[in-house]
Chains A and B, each alone.
Chain A
Amino acid sequence: DAGVTQSPTHLIKTRGQQVTLRCSPKSGHDTVSWYQQALGQGPQFIFQYYEEEERQRGNFPDRFSGHQFPNYSSELNVNALLLGDSALYLCASSLGLAGGPYTDTQYFGPGTRLTVL
């Protein structure tokens, strides 16, 4: 049973560029959440996708956008990169619980380490 997978593993970009990160959820999961983890900090919630729509969003600017595909995989896009965007970007998948906005336990992928120069 494949777990959550993310690509690429590492990425180096320069300020002002745009980046796309990809995530495939664990088999059977339909919900994908994205987190940013700066060095020495806990993960910070960016947003969550369910049924191809952004269901909830954390305190991140509009430069951060995403998409979920019919097969439940997801992309995170960041435009106009800043030095402060350098971080580990984690994707977590879960199963949406019927009848409400909740999801079950989230499982994390290995992350994409983004360095902005």
Chain B
Amino acid sequence: RKEVEQDPGPFNVPEGATVAFNCTYSNSASQSFFWYRQDCRKEPKLLMSVYSSGNEDGRFTAQLNRASQYISLLIRDSKLSDSATYLCVVTRYNDMRFGAGTRLTVKP
């Protein structure tokens, strides 16, 4: 079993749709949690950190459930520019473990 598992995707949604990504992790000692975004053939870029209390950044909402070892990302009112691969990241000390990513395509 992989340490970080994500929805395989791909997700193809129309503009304006709401889409949710899920991620589970196996190491209960994990300390920090993030969502990164990666455009085709580009480097990953930090989208947002994830906290147990939940956090929101504009159209993006992230949530962490430590008891279930589950992380989510919700994107509301999808834009064409949201098309990318979304990577779930779990860290313990300096070791960042990435999921394989979920590809999102937003269509007009």
Name the distance in Å between B84's Cβ and chain A's nearest Cβ: 13
Name the distance in Å between B62's Cβ and chain A's nearest Cβ: 15
Known contacts: A33-B96, A55-B94, A56-B95. The answer to whether A90 contacts B46 by CB under 8 A is: no
- A44 at interface by CB-CB < 8 Å: yes
Q: Is the CB of B94 within 8 A of A101?
A: yes
Q: What A residues does B87 contact at CB under 8 A?
A: 42-43
Which of B12-20, B53-61, B70-78, B97-105 contacts the other chain?
Answer: B97-105
Q: Is the CB of A105 within 8 A of B94?
A: no
- B45 at interface by CB-CB < 8 Å: yes
Partner of B43, one of A40, A45, A90, A105: A90
Tell me the B residues contacting A by CB distance below 8 Å: 4, 34, 42-46, 49, 87, 93-101
Given contacts A102-B93, A110-B43, 19 further A-B contacts (CB under 8 A): A31-B94, A33-B96, A35-B96, A42-B100, A42-B101, A43-B98, A45-B96, A50-B94, A55-B94, A56-B93, A56-B95, A101-B93, A101-B94, A105-B34, A105-B49, A106-B96, A107-B46, A110-B42, A111-B43
Tell me the A residues contacting B by CB distance below 8 Å: 31, 33, 35, 40-45, 48, 50, 55-56, 58, 90, 92, 101-103, 105-111
